């Protein structure tokens, strides 16, 4: 009976997340009758913010735009990821005051800039900025808006090649999973025909259906590197003692996926989403991997191999989250918002505080909120 209730709750959670996604698309102006800003790679200088109150106001305004996810990074006050349709935008506020925009965007990018620039100008009347200084209203030469533009942002990568992606790094509960997929041209065409695309654009159910298709098509030429929470926490602490951060841990996972595939499936190219200096991954590759040409690029999920890897990683993460929910008898929410606090407190109450490291990634700031509540 308890397992039936948890299964129903998991379905309801998925429905809520889909509804929130639709609400976010409306808030960010998607499908509204307004002039379209062409999709463009974001190449702008950062804005430096020294006023603590202004930094707070901008953060609150960005929160109102409903980021798809947020994550903690070394030397950052926050890092927000916004995703709507074809747009992928990351906004980072560094502790030194630098506010950085990265990714690929159009109308959503303009909405973010409107919020930031309006607040900035309200506090700096002597040096007013304009949104037009940061965004192009005409497509770049050789580019068009929409899906066609993405295929031209970077040259095609020769087949066969490996694509890697991860899931779970921004979630408080559950593992981090890095997946890798080796594709030749034939396998890529078959996957594209099944509708393979970035897992963030898919419902959880669709993602799980496609994962089964990918495993059939790849026929042993895929790999999933899972870091359960306890092992994740051990590695994170180890890297931190060495003066390294989450990006180094991510690189370690991507490197392991690439190396595992190269054992039986040689190739000369690998592609991954850009999350740090490419030297992070290269430095953790062994002999076979060091011969690769590694390509790290924003929005790498447009490559079928990376999109397939993102689906496999997501599917493995979702399966583990469901297993953990059944094991603990508690619906474990995805993400790292305050929704995770009560389930974490329930786990501590039922099994003790040491149990938390076996189910959660403890470096998140949320852990401090949870621990404070255990002492009240």
pLDDT of 26:
44
Phi-psi region of 374 (alpha: psi -120 to 50; beta: other; left: phi over 0): alpha
Token pair belonging to 147: 């899906």
pLDDT of 230:
97
pLDDT of 312:
97
pLDDT of 261:
95
Mean pLDDT over each residue of the chain, to the nearest integer: 83
Cα gap 314→176, rounded to integer Å = 9
pLDDT of 41:
80
Within 10 Å of residue 192's Cβ, how many Cβ atoms? Answer: 13
Q: Does residue 13 lie within any of the structural domains?
A: no
Average pLDDT of the residues in 71-78: 79
Judged against a pLDDT cut of 90, whether residue 57 lies above it is answered with: yes
Domain end among 115, 150, 185: 150
C-alpha torsion 283→288→289→294, nearest 10: 120
CATH number reported for the structural domain that contains residue 179 in this entry: 3.30.420.10
pLDDT of 252:
92
Judged against a pLDDT cut of 80, whether residue 66 lies above it is answered with: yes
Judged against a pLDDT cut of 50, whether residue 65 lies above it is answered with: yes
pLDDT of 199:
77
pTM of the complete model: 0.64
Task: Say which residues have a Cβ less than 8 Å from residue 336's Cβ, sequence separation at least 6.
Answer: 69, 70, 71, 170, 171, 172, 364, 366
Number of domains the chain contains: 3
Name the least confident of 103-112, 159-168, 363-372.
103-112
pLDDT tens digit sequence for 310-336: 999 999 999 999 999 999 999 999 988
Cα gap 273→255, rounded to integer Å = 13
pLDDT of 233:
96
Do both 239 and 359 map to the same domain? no
Do both 158 and 146 map to the same domain? no
Do both 272 and 360 map to the same domain? no
Cα gap 149→39, rounded to integer Å = 7
Burial class (CB in 10 A: 0-12, 13-18, 19+), 368: exposed
DSSP β-bridge partners for residue 177: 167, 226
Do both 158 and 133 map to the same domain? no
Q: Does residue 170 lie within any of the structural domains?
A: yes
pLDDT of 131:
83
- What is the DSSP track for 68-115? SEEE--TTEEEEEEEEETTEEEEEEEETTSEEEEEEEESHHHHHHHHH
Q: Does residue 340 lie within any of the structural domains?
A: yes
pLDDT tens digit sequence for 232-250: 999 999 999 999 888 889 9
Do both 166 and 83 map to the same domain? no
Name the least confident of 26-35, 207-216, 313-322.
26-35
Q: Of 23-32, 39-48, 331-340, give the range with the top mean pLDDT.
A: 331-340
b (16+ CB within 10 A) / e for 60-95? eebeebbbbbbbbbeebbbbbbbbbbbbbbbbbbbe
Domain that holds residue 346: 325-374
Judged against a pLDDT cut of 50, whether residue 198 lies above it is answered with: yes
- 201 band by pLDDT with thresholds 50, 70 and 90: confident
H helix runs in the chain, sequence order? 2-27, 52-64, 107-123, 147-153, 185-194, 204-218, 229-241, 246-262, 279-282, 304-328, 341-351, 366-374
- 142 band by pLDDT with thresholds 50, 70 and 90: very low
Q: Does residue 192 lie within any of the structural domains?
A: yes
Do both 310 and 340 map to the same domain? no
pLDDT tens digit sequence for 249-302: 999 999 999 999 999 999 999 999 887 666 778 777 766 667 788 888 888 888
Average pLDDT of the residues in 355-371: 94
Q: Does residue 2 lie within any of the structural domains?
A: no
pLDDT tens digit sequence for 179-191: 999 999 999 999 9
Do both 229 and 345 map to the same domain? no
pLDDT of 37:
78
N residues, the chain: 376
- What is the DSSP track for 320-345? HHHHHHHHHTS---SSSSGGGHHHHH
pLDDT of 157:
87
Judged against a pLDDT cut of 60, whether residue 72 lies above it is answered with: yes
Do both 93 and 190 map to the same domain? no
pLDDT of 149:
36
Do both 34 and 73 map to the same domain? yes
Cα gap 283→277, rounded to integer Å = 10
- 145 band by pLDDT with thresholds 50, 70 and 90: very low
Task: Say which residues have a Cβ less than 8 Å from residue 369's Cβ, sequence separation at least 6.
Answer: 338, 341
Q: Does residue 18 lie within any of the structural domains?
A: no
Query: Residue 360: helix, strand or coil by DSSP?
Result: strand
Higher pLDDT, 151 or 355: 355
Do both 310 and 168 map to the same domain? yes
pLDDT of 83:
87
Do both 184 and 292 map to the same domain? yes
Do both 118 and 191 map to the same domain? no
Average pLDDT of the residues in 17-45: 56
């Amino acid at each position: 009976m308890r397992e039936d209730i948890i299964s129903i709750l998991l379905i309801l959670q998925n429905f809520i997340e889909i509804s929130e996604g639709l609400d976010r698309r409306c808030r960010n102006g998607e499908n509204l009758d307004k002039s379209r800003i062409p999709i463009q790679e974001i190449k702008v200088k950062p804005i430096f913010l020294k006023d603590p109150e202004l930094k707070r106001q901008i953060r609150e305004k960005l929160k109102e735009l409903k980021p798809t996810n947020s994550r903690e990074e070394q030397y950052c006050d926050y890092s927000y990821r916004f995703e709507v349709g074809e747009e992928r935008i990351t906004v980072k506020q560094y502790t030194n005051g630098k506010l950085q925009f990265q990714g690929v965007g159009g109308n959503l990018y303009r909405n973010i800039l409107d919020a930031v620039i309006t607040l900035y100008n309200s506090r700096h009347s002597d040096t007013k900025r304009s949104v037009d200084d940061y965004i192009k209203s005409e497509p770049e030469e050789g580019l068009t808006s929409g899906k066609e533009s993405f295929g031209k942002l970077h040259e095609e990568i020769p087949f066969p090649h490996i694509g890697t992606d991860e899931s779970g790094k921004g979630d408080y509960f559950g593992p981090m999973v890095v997946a890798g997929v080796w594709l030749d041209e034939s396998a890529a065409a078959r996957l594209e025909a099944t509708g393979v695309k970035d897992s963030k654009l898919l419902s959880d159910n669709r993602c799980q259906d496609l994962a089964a298709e990918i495993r059939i098509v790849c026929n042993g030429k895929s790999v999933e590197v899972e870091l359960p929470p306890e092992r994740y926490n051990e590695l994170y602490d180890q890297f931190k003692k060495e003066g390294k951060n989450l990006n180094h841990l991510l690189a370690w996972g991507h490197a392991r996926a690439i190396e595992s595939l190269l054992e039986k499936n040689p190739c000369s190219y690998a592609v991954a989403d850009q999350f740090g200096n490419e030297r992070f991954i290269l430095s953790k590759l062994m002999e076979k991997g060091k011969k690769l040409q590694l390509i790290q690029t924003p929005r790498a999920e447009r490559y079928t191999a990376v999109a397939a890897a993102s689906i496999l990683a997501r599917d493995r993460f979702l399966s583990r989250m469901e297993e953990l929910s059944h094991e603990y008898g508690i619906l474990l929410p995805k993400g790292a918002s305050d929704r995770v606090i009560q389930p974490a407190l329930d786990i501590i109450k039922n099994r003790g505080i040491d149990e938390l490291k076996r189910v959660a990634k403890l470096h998140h700031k949320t852990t401090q909120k949870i621990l404070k509540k255990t002492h009240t």
